[in-house]
A and B are shown apart, each in its own frame.
Chain A
């Protein structure tokens, strides 16, 4: 069973690593993210949200759905540890 788990993990890792070959090179000015996503945030974030810190504006507003599930992940981690470990001494 352990060997199967290791094999499944390795196979997933190979598929994921193969998928990264299609990514644009890091910092490539011609990639889609650099040609129209980042410029729009940089130009419009302050006037649309009145938040001077662009990181907060993107994290809390434009990518709010992503941040919501980050919170849910942390919440689930806490819930799992509590439900596995905590016990009452009677």
Chain B
């Protein structure tokens, strides 16, 4: 927020100021809403894919209103790559973990043997863990798709 504040102050330009101020105020709420959509997927429409896209869109909005470097200051290239891989690995890792402790692949009830919460509660919690993995992967891949296509792969100024 502080970085955005300084950036908006030093930039000159007429209508850019309005857009940048609006984006500066909106981005924290967009990210909060994205987390809410992921976490509240058990009770309302939403889940990993939708919440991940909302989170990714907040970074794209930063890149559109300021420039690509500004959005890279909030999520670096390296962190983005790690998150994208980690998200896909969380999903598959939980599936493999279920198989390792004696259940079927992606049979979350089997994780009860590691931490006894009850098989039914584990199925609910397993869905949550998997959705978090999906959300992380979709968020970083949405952002990296925009960065690469918007700048032709050079990751400098962007559109």
Query: Which residues of A line the B interface, CB within 8 A?
Result: 47-53, 55-57, 59-61, 64-65, 67-68, 70-72, 74-75, 77-78, 81-82, 84-87, 89
Interchain CA distance A51-B130 in the complex, whole Å: 14
| A53 neighbours in B (Cβ, 8 Å) | 41-45
A residues in contact with B153, CB < 8 Å? 84-87
Chain B residues in 8 Å Cβ range of A84: 153
Task: Pick the most buried of A71, A75, A84, A85: most chain B CB atoms within 10 A of its CB.
Answer: A71
Q: Are B156 and A49 in contact (CB under 8 A)?
A: no
Please tell me if the beta carbons of B47 and A56 are within 8 angstroms of each other in the complex.
yes
Query: Chain A residue with minimal CB distance to B138?
Result: A74
Say yes or no for B34: interface residue by CB 8 A criterion.
no
Closest CB in chain A relative to B115 CB, distance in Å:
16
Contact A68 B137 (CB under 8 A): no
CA distance A3 to B140 in the complex (A): 38
A86:B156 contact, CB within 8 angstroms: no
Interface of A is mostly: helix
User: Do A77 and B43 touch (CB < 8 A)?
Assistant: no
How far is B124's CA from A48's CA once the two chains are assembled, in angstroms?
Answer: 9
Bound CA span A84–B126, Å:
35
Smallest Cβ distance from A68 to chain B, in angstroms?
6
Minimum CB–CB distance from A54 to chain B (whole Å) comes to 11
B130 touches A64 (CB 8 A): yes
CB pair A51 B42 closer than 8 Å:
yes
Q: Given A48-B123, A50-B123, A60-B47, A78 and B130 touching (CB < 8 A)?
A: no
Flag whether B88 is at the interface (Cβ < 8 A): yes
Residue B127 at the A interface, CB < 8 A? yes
Once bound together, how far apart are the Cα atoms of A87 and B123, in whole Å? 43
A89 to B126, CA, bound (A): 43
| Interchain CB contact under 8 A, B44 and A48 | no
Provide the residues of chain B in CB contact with A71, threshold 8 Å: 48, 87-88, 91, 133-134, 137-138
Partner-binding segment picked from B5-13, B62-70, B143-151? B143-151
**Which B residues, 111 to 145, have Cβ-Cβ distances below 8 Å to chain A?**
120-121, 123-124, 126-127, 130-131, 133-134, 137-138, 140-141, 144-145
